[in-house]
């Protein structure tokens, strides 16, 4: 069940509520938020950039919706159906807050699932906190989100991904001359911090590093710089277009070495940009590859084809699918506990999750005070147009995991 | 050092090709065309749609169609800008910002905000010379720059239209008094500039990939090249392009790539202090 809410529907709905609400108010006031006990329906929602500069990010929420549709068709969560409402925020943090208010106050949602974006999720923090609203798997990565008691992100801290990549390069590939090309924002800075901390813990250091602005489209100079430093391995923390540009530049100067990139680049769209230059690139990833034969990922491929045939299957979709799966398993645990189906109890259940598997994600854990849901990553390699798992999930390097622990709010 | 210089030369040729298009319009009408990058990007997207999209045209047919469309778009754009140009160069320059936004909007409307790949049909050929890796792409960029410069030289120095262009760019009033059509000269420069833009975009995108903003972003460096070379000098824009390409590559390699934009600005200021009108400017005293 999905609803994409437009302005006209909001006006009609408001009118209907103002007439009908007079009679239904007393009954509703006594009910639990987002829960229809009689019909066994739980209402959840998310804001997403259905319009605006990045409409393709909405693929995350399409996949979450596909997960719930598929789940409902298979009987739901112990007979409970999930009703998922997506409200458009145009990727504008001010609108995200307005959309969240409507989701909570008009649509009466129990929780947010896969609310989309980093700045947008940060914008709703005070409101979500005041309502005690569980925010399950917001698709944004920031220490501010991790620090919230009611927010349970899955996206990893890139400091930890960089450390995992370096560990694989040193221990498996036996190469310890590591360079970094990093986007000069929070993403790249965290990767730099993680790489430096990890290498220091092994008495090594970064052989060279070069940063770039997110708007830069040609990384030839950065590649030349790290290539002449004697680096055997380059970690590139940026978008797929940046990796594609760097691989092109490396090919032009015939530099041969190992490349590592963050999980979200391990997507079929990257192959469309790079062609076979991508072969051999490694990705430290909290998600299994989209080509994996794990039943939950095979189910994702079938469901997306059925419900959103125009969406490309890839990392965005797997992210949303895993968010839906995380909500479903936590809600099931809440039902099993026999406790009232309240937001407070849902947060308590979320804080008790240890080493669970959800969709394409593994070994997810949350505990009070540390909401870093992802605590281990697998290693994926691009080979012949596909993404192949070359090393199973292993916990993040301890030195960096401890150093990057969230500060108490 | 040599490989860094070589890569800088190749990038510089790309800047030069972009700068040539800007200078053509400035020389004829005294205005800066800020829509140059977006219009060139639109042309590249046209090639992408016809060649890599459902139409599956051959690369050369797609390029010819894009160039023909670029000529039509140039004529239409000039038609929209001409009334503004009669008021003032500045008004027309601001008008081109609007045209650029429309072109960018058209790209977003048709192709979305995705980044796509558009390669040149080149063989995977490469060789090593004095420690430099020379690829087919590098040679193609160099060859295209030489051919474009030679073509412009022949066109401007040895054709009737070219002579009219030179007369109008040297002294528009005298040219008009002599009965030359300024509108024709403007239209000619817009069309040549448009073709140059598409050629530059097709050579740029194998390195930068193609999105609604990549060509426009790249053209900012081309703008710097034009300023340094002398905004009213075609040979100057080539020299400026190569200088900017080499200097930026050396700076990124030896100093800090993250300070590249600041360096470019400082480089422009230093160049203009030494050569107030640009390296090869003919209109001394007029700064851009």
Q: What average pLDDT score do residues A52-62 get?
A: 83
pLDDT at position A6 = 47
Q: Is the pLDDT of residue A315 over 80?
A: yes
Mean pLDDT, range A351-365, rounded to an integer: 93
Poorest-pLDDT segment among A51-60, A318-327, B205-214, B265-274 = A51-60
Mean pLDDT, chain A, as a whole number?
A: 88
For residue A246, give how far its alpha carbon lies from the nearest alpha carbon of chain B (Å). 9
What does the pLDDT average to over A371-394?
92
Instruction: Return the SS3 of A188.
Output: helix
Average pLDDT over residues A218-246: 91
Task: Label residue B52 by pLDDT band (50, 70, 90).
Answer: confident
Q: Between chains, do B116 and A273 touch, taking CB under 8 Å as contact?
A: yes
pLDDT band (50, 70, 90) for residue A213: confident
Asked if A254's CB is within 8 angstroms of B258's CB, the reply is no
Average pLDDT over residues A102-108: 95
Closest CB to B252 among A54, A221, A244: A221
Partners of residue B128 in chain A, C-beta under 8 Å: 254
Q: Which residues of B touch A249 (CB under 8 A)?
A: 207
Please give the average per-residue pLDDT across B6-34, as a whole number. 90
Residue A7: pLDDT band (50, 70, 90) is very low
**End-to-end alpha carbon distance in chain B:** 33
Partner A contacted by B221 (CB < 8 A): no
Start-to-end Cα distance in chain A = 37
Residues of A in contact with B216 (CB under 8 A): none
pLDDT band at A43 (very low <50, low <70, confident <90, very high): very high
Q: Report whether pLDDT(A14) > 70.
A: no
pLDDT, average across residues A12-34? 50
pLDDT recorded at residue A135: 97
Q: Residue A195 burial (CB < 10 Å; 0-12/13-18/19+)?
A: buried
**C-beta of residue A306 within 8 angstroms of C-beta of residue A66:** yes
CB A27 within 8 A of CB A95: no
In whole angstroms, how far apart are CA A134 and each of A80, A118, B200? 18, 16, 52
Q: How far is A93 from chain B (nearest CA, A)?
A: 20
Which residues does chain B have within 8 Å of residue A225's beta carbon, measured at their own beta carbons? 252-253, 257
Q: Do A215 and B217 touch (CB under 8 A)?
A: yes
Mean pLDDT across the stretch B7-28? 90
How many Cβ atoms from other residues are within 10 Å of residue A54's Cβ?
15
- Residues with Cβ within 8 Å of residue A17, at least 6 apart in sequence: A106
Reference A286, options A367, A373, A402, A382; nearest CA is A373
In this predicted structure, the answer to whether residue A5 has a pLDDT above a threshold of 60 is no
pLDDT on residue A150: 95
Highest mean pLDDT among A6-15, A55-64, A319-328: A319-328
Give the CATH architecture of domain A2-155+293-364: 3-Layer(aba) Sandwich (3.40)
> In chain B, whose CA is at the least distance from the CA of A218?
B208
C-alpha span between A153 and B25 (Å, rounded): 53
User: Considering the entire predicted model, what is its pTM?
Assistant: 0.79
Residue B71, pLDDT above cutoff 90: yes
- From chain B, the residues in CB contact with A217 under 8 A are 207-209, 211, 214, 217-218
CATH of domain A158-285+376-403: 3.40.50.2300
pLDDT of residue B283: 54
* Range in A14-23, A191-200, B71-80 the model is least confident about: A14-23
The tally of CA atoms less than 13 A away on the side-chain side of residue B14 is: 29
The DSSP-derived string for A298-337 is HHHHHHHHHH-TTSPPSHHHHHHHHHHHHHHHHHHHHHHH
| B115–A273 CB contact, under 8 Å | yes
Higher per-residue confidence, A185 vs A42: A42
CA angle A44–A45–A48, rounded 5-degree value? 165
Instruction: Verify whether the Cβ–Cβ distance B117 to A273 is below 8 Å.
Output: yes
Residue A394's Cβ-count burial label (10 Å; 0-12, 13-18, 19+) is middle
Give the whole-angstrom CA distance, residue A141 versus residue A160: 12
| Token pair 């789940």 in the structure block, residue | A71
Query: What are the extents of the domains in chain A?
Result: 2-155+293-364, 158-285+376-403
- Is the per-residue pLDDT at A21 higher than 50? no
| Total CB pairs under 8 A between chain A and B | 84
Check if the interface score ipTM surpasses 0.90. Answer: no
Closest residue of chain A to B119, computed from CA coordinates: A273
Q: Which of B112, B128, B209 sits opposite A217 (nearest CB)?
A: B209
Q: What average pLDDT does this structure show over A7-29?
A: 44
B59 alpha carbon, distance to own chain's centre: 21
Assess whether pLDDT exceeds 80 at residue A409. Answer: no
Higher pLDDT, B2 or A255: A255
Least confident of A5-14, A49-58, A88-97, B230-239: A5-14
Q: What six digits make up the tokens of B174?
A: 């005298």
User: Taking Cα atoms as reference points, which of A186, A137, A196 lies closest to residue A158?
Assistant: A186
Query: By the 8 A CB rule, do A70 and A2 touch?
Result: no
Contact B50, B66 (CB under 8 A): yes
pLDDT for A196 equals: 96
Are the Cβ atoms of B113 and A54 closer than 8 angstroms? yes
Interchain pair B214, A217: CB under 8 A: yes
Contact B24, B153 (CB under 8 A): no
Average pLDDT of span A274-286: 94
Residue B274, token pair as written in the block: 């030494």
pLDDT at A11: 46
Tell me what pLDDT residue A29 has.
42
CB contact under 8 A, B257 and A211: yes
pLDDT computed for residue B117 by the predictor: 87
Residue A28 has pLDDT above 50, yes or no: no
Q: What residues of A are in the B interface, CB distance below 8 Å?
A: 53-56, 184, 210-213, 215, 217-218, 220-222, 224-225, 228, 240-241, 244-245, 248-249, 252-254, 269, 272-275
Q: What does chain B look like in DSSP terms, one character per residue?
A: -HHHHHHHHHHHHHHHHHHHHHHHHHHHHS---TTHHHHHHHHHHHHHHHHTSTT---HHHHHHHHHHHHHHHHHHHHHHHHHHHHH-HHHHHHHHHHHHHHHHHHHHHHHTT--B---------EEEETTEEEEHHHHHHHHHHHHHHHHHHHHHHHSHHHHHHHHHHH-HHHHHHTT--HHHHHHHHHHHHHHHHHHHHHHHHHHH-B-TTHHHHHHHHHHHHHHHH-TT-HHHHHHHHHHHHHHHHHHHHHT-GGGHHHHHHHHHHHHHHHSTT-TT-SSTT---
Chain A, nearest residue to B118 by Cα? A273
For residue A114, what pLDDT is reported?
A: 96
Task: Answer yes or no: do A217 and B218 touch at CB < 8 A.
Answer: yes
pLDDT grade for B115, boundaries at 50, 70 and 90: confident
CATH topology of domain B2-274: ABC transporter involved in vitamin B12 uptake, BtuC (1.10.3470)
User: Each residue of B198-214: pLDDT tens digit?
Assistant: 999 999 988 888 888 88
The DSSP code sequence of A230-261 is T-SEEEEES-HHHHHHHHHHHHHTT---EEEE
CB-CB neighbors (< 8 A) of A223 in chain B: none
Over range A233-244, report the average pLDDT: 92
């Amino acid at each position: 069940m999905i609803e994409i809410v437009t302005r006209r529907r909001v006006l009609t709905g408001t009118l209907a509520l103002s007439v009908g609400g007079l009679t239904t108010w007393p009954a509703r006031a006594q009910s639990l938020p987002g829960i229809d006990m009689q019909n066994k329906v739980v209402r959840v929602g998310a804001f997403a950039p259905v319009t605006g500069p990045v409409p393709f990010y909405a693929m995350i929420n399409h996949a979450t919706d596909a997960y719930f549709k598929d789940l409902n068709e298979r009987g739901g969560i112990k007979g409970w159906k999930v009703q998922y409402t997506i409200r458009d925020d145009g990727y504008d943090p001010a609108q995200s807050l307005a959309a969240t208010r409507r989701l909570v106050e008009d649509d009466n949602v129990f929780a947010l699932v896969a609310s989309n974006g980093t700045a947008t999720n940060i914008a709703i923090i005070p409101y979500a906190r005041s309502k005690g609203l569980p925010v399950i798997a917001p698709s944004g990565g920031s220490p501010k989100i991790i620090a919230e008691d009611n927010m349970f992100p899955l996206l990893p801290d890139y400091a930890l991904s960089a450390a995992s990549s370096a560990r694989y390069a040193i221990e498996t590939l036996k190469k310890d001359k590591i360079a970094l090309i990093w986007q000069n924002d929070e993403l790249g800075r965290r990767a730099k911090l993680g790489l430096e901390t990890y290498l220091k813990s092994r008495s090594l250091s970064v052989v060279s590093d070069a940063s770039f602005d997110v708007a830069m489209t040609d990384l030839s100079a950065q590649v030349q710089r790290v290539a002449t430093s004697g680096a055997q391995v380059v970690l590139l923390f940026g978008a797929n277009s940046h990796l594609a540009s760097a691989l092109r530049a490396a090919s032009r100067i015939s530099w041969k070495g190992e490349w590592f990139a963050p999980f979200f680049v391990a997507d079929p769209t990257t192959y469309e940009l790079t062609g076979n230059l991508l072969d051999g690139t490694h990705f430290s990833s909290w998600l299994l590859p989209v080509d994996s034969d794990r039943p939950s990922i095979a189910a994702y491929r079938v469901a997306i084809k059925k419900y959103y045939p125009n969406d490309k299957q890839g990392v965005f979709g797997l992210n949303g699918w895993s968010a839906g799966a995380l909500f479903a398993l936590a809600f099931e645990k809440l039902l099993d506990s026999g406790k009232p189906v309240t937001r407070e109890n849902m947060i308590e259940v979320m804080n008790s999750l240890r080493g669970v598997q959800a969709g394409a994600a593994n070994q997810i854990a949350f505990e009070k005070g540390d909401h870093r849901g992802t605590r281990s990553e697998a290693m994926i390699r691009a080979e012949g147009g596909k993404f192949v798992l070359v090393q199973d999930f292993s916990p993040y390097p301890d030195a960096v995991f401890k150093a990057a622990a969230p500060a108490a709010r | 050092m040599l490989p860094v210089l070589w890569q800088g030369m190749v990038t510089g040729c790309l800047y030069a090709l972009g700068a040539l298009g800007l200078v053509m319009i400035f020389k004829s009408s005294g205005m800066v065309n800020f829509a140059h990058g977006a219009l060139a990007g639109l042309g590249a997207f046209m090639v992408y749609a016809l060649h890599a999209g459902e139409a599956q045209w051959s690369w050369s047919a797609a390029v010819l169609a894009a160039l023909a469309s670029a000529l039509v778009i140039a004529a239409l754009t000039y038609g929209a800008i001409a009334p503004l140009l009669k008021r003032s160069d500045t008004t027309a320059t601001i008008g081109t910002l609007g045209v650029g936004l429309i072109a960018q909007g058209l790209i977003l409307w048709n192709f979305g905000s995705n980044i796509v790949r558009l390669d040149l049909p080149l063989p995977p050929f490469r060789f090593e010379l004095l420690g430099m890796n020379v690829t087919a792409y590098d040679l193609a960029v160099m060859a295209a720059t030489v051919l474009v410069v030679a073509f412009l030289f022949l066109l401007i120095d040895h054709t009737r239209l070219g002579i009219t262009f030179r007369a109008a760019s040297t002294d528009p009033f005298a040219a008009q008094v002599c009965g030359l059509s300024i509108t024709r000269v403007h239209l000619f420069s817009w069309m040549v500039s448009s073709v140059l833009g598409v050629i530059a975009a097709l050579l740029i995108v194998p390195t930068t990939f193609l999105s609604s903003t990549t060509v426009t972003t790249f053209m900012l460096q081309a703008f710097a090249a034009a300023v340094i070379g002398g905004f009213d000098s075609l040979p100057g824009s080539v020299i400026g392009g190569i200088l900017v390409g080499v200097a930026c590559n050396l700076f990124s390699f030896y100093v800090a790539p993250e300070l590249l934009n600041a360096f470019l600005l400082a480089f422009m200021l230093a160049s203009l202090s030494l050569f107030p009108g640009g390296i090869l400017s003919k209109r001394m005293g007029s700064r851009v």
